[in-house]
Structure 1
Amino acid sequence: MDEIERLSTIEELRRLMARYVYNADHQRWDELAALFTPEGTFTPHNGDGTVVRHMRGRQEIASSIPASVGPEAVLVHHLFSDEIDIESAVSARGVWAMEDLIKRPARTDDNGNAQFTEMHGFGHYRARFTRADGEWKIAELVLTRLRMDLTY
């Protein structure tokens, strides 16, 4: 892969992640899930490092995220400072610093415990990408948190 192809691929992957956060902010869950490979995974973590949920496949991603954030939530995501490594013509990895904001009405979980109404989070998206049929997709996405400020 020459330098122009490498830089072009990096830009394609930046745009792919930009579509991911755009679809999240507009709650377009099917479009967001379509950015993943058919068996792609998404694993967000809490601030203490514990796994919130491990989702596999487009259908689970498209249904699990909205169930978690709630239908009336307002979401805002920002991506910063990416590092993208092209491993081959069909494989790449990247890390993005991120910040997200979630605001939603008061609600409780199945056990009657209050859930947060506002969350301001900071962390990193770590992604593994694959290219198939001329198109880059997310094969694996892991969200790790450095900090989460919650309001109840």
Structure 2
Amino acid sequence: MQDLARLVATEDVRRVMARYVYNADHHRWDDLAALFTPDAPFTASAVDGSVQARMTGRDEIAGQLKSRNHPDSVLVHHLYSSEIDFESEDSATGVWAMEDVIARSANSPGEPTGMHGYGHYRVRFTRQEGHWLIAGLRITRLRLDWTY
């Protein structure tokens, strides 16, 4: 891959992740799911490595995220220090350090009202018809702080 093509592709991949967190923060679950390939896996792990959520494909991703996030919740996601490697002109992997904050206004007694998490997004990308899409996404957690 030539230097200029690599720079353009790097920026395109970064913009996919920027759209991902923007859509998450604004509860635009269908738009977020559209950033994935039709059969992409999405996995979120707890600090101990156990799987908290596993979804496959756009419909399941949008559906589970809609059901897990109350419309009145406030979501804030930050991405830091991306590392992007290209396997070919149409295939890449990336790792982003991340931080997310969730504040819930509706919860049952004894349930947490919020969460502040830290970890990494580990992402596989593919370029199809000139557009980069998420071919797989895994969230790994380093720390979760709950508020009650």
Contact 2:72 2:106 in 1 (8 A): no
1:74 aligns with 74
Contact 2:37 2:134 in 1 (8 A): yes
1:2 aligns with 2
Root mean square deviation, CA, Å: 1.1
Structure 1 residue 115: deviation in Å? Answer: 2.8
Contact 1:106 1:115 in 2 (8 A): no
Structure 2 unaligned regions, length at least 5: none
Structure 1 residue 32: deviation in Å? Answer: 0.2
1:123 aligns with 119
Which deviations, in whole Å up to 9, do the C-alpha atoms of 1:58-116 show, x marking residues without a partner?
A: 000001012112222100000000000011011000000000000002424xxxx8432
1:43 aligns with 43
2:33 aligns with 33
Once residues 70 and 106 of structure 1 are traced to their aligned partners in structure 2, the CA distance between those partners, rounded to angstroms, is 7
Q: TM-score, normalised by structure 1?
A: 0.93
Contact 2:70 2:106 in 1 (8 A): no
The DSSP-based 3-state class of the residue aligned with 1:107 is coil
Paired-residue identity, %: 58
Once residues 6 and 74 of structure 2 are traced to their aligned partners in structure 1, the CA distance between those partners, rounded to angstroms, is 36
Which one of 119, 133, 136 corresponds to residue 137 of structure 1? 133
Contact 1:43 1:53 in 2 (8 A): yes
Structure 1 residue 46: deviation in Å? Answer: 1.4
Q: TM-score, normalised by structure 2?
A: 0.96
Once residues 66 and 74 of structure 2 are traced to their aligned partners in structure 1, the CA distance between those partners, rounded to angstroms, is 11
Which deviations, in whole Å up to 9, do the C-alpha atoms of 1:118-138 show, x marking residues without a partner?
A: 100000000000111111100
Tell me the number of residue pairs that the alignment of Structure 1 and Structure 2 aligns: 148
Structure 1 unaligned regions, length at least 5: none
Contact 1:106 1:116 in 2 (8 A): no
